[in-house]
Amino acid sequence: MARLTPSAEMGAPEYERGPWRLPTPVYVLVFASLGVLATYASLELWSGMASAEQPLLWWAGRALGFLAYIALWLSMIFGSLVSSGGAGGTLSKKWVMDFHQEWTLAAVISTVLHVLVLVTHAESHVTPWAAVIPFASARLTWEIGIGTIAGLGLAVIAISSWLRTLVPYTAWRAIHALSFGVMLLALAHGITVGTDSGTPLVTWLYLGTTAALTVVMAVRVVTALASKPRVA
């Protein structure tokens, strides 16, 4: 997209290129694909609920866990795009930053709800202490413990971002760097504690999100290296 602006030197009009945007057919294709995936996942979930004798709270906990993971992943994706300047100027920086902040908030909310549901569900054996103190759970101590660390790390990152004006820049950058560890712990937590981690849909979810984040991180590194001034 471009808009016409006057030239300061020649007095002739010139084009100033704005942020690149995907064509409408591509948006339609992306949302249609997401709709098909969501329909397939819903059918799989409905089939599993019909054939298993699990209480509603168990299903709610699993669904919120997946939602928290995907929201955290999307927050990481857009956060990396922010650091790379919107993929080197390909995307609008404001658009990328807005999505990064919104998905971070979604990750925090869904994680809190995930924990509350598990603590409420007696058969999960997750106590309030285990939800806030790592490795305090008598059952699945290691698996639940790394999830607790991931949740606490996410809380620290979110609070430091909301109090950005009160936190020194160096400290904020150091805290923000913890997001990579939080993402890895969340992935390990989902794989080890999830009873459906071996199913094809969940396996591809973890593989796909990991691969996509790796690609975005590679773009971030390449963009950072390319933007460094060369020493003659």
CB 120, CB 57: distance < 8 Å = yes
Q: Which amino acid is at 189?
A: H
**Residue showing tokens 């413990």:** 145
DSSP string computed for 150-183? HHHHHHHHHHHHHTGGGS-HHHHHHHHTHHHHHH
Range of the domain at 123: 56-224
The reply to whether 5 falls in a domain is no
The reply to whether 46 falls in a domain is no
Q: Is the pLDDT of residue 100 over 80?
A: yes
Q: Is the pLDDT of residue 210 over 50?
A: yes
* DSSP alpha helix (H) spans, the chain: 24-51, 56-83, 85-89, 93-120, 128-132, 141-162, 169-176, 178-193, 200-227
The reply to whether 43 falls in a domain is no
pLDDT at 183: 94
229 vs 148, which has greater pLDDT?
148
pLDDT at 146: 94
Of 30-39, 71-80, 184-193, least confident by mean pLDDT is 30-39
pLDDT at 26: 55
The H-or-E segment that residue 13 falls in is strand 13-17
The reply to whether 73 falls in a domain is yes
The reply to whether 174 falls in a domain is yes
DSSP string computed for 41-70? HHHHHHHHHHHS---HHHHHHHHHHHHHHH
The reply to whether 117 falls in a domain is yes
Average pLDDT over residues 180-197: 90
- Report d(CA 215, CA 84) in Å as an integer: 12
Q: Is the pLDDT of residue 87 over 60?
A: no
Q: Is the pLDDT of residue 50 over 80?
A: no
- Report d(CA 41, CA 10) in Å as an integer: 59
Q: What is the CATH number of the domain that holds 178?
A: 1.20.120
Average pLDDT over residues 200-227: 84
Q: How confident is the model at residue 201 (pLDDT cuts 50, 70, 90)?
A: confident
pLDDT tens-digit profile of 102-154?
889 899 999 999 999 888 887 777 888 988 899 988 888 899 999 999 999 99
Length of the chain: 232
The reply to whether 154 falls in a domain is yes
Number of structural domains, the chain?
1
Q: How confident is the model at residue 169 (pLDDT cuts 50, 70, 90)?
A: confident
Q: Chain-wide mean pLDDT for the chain?
A: 77
**pLDDT above 90 covers what percent of the chain?**
25
Q: How confident is the model at residue 14 (pLDDT cuts 50, 70, 90)?
A: very low
The reply to whether 24 falls in a domain is no
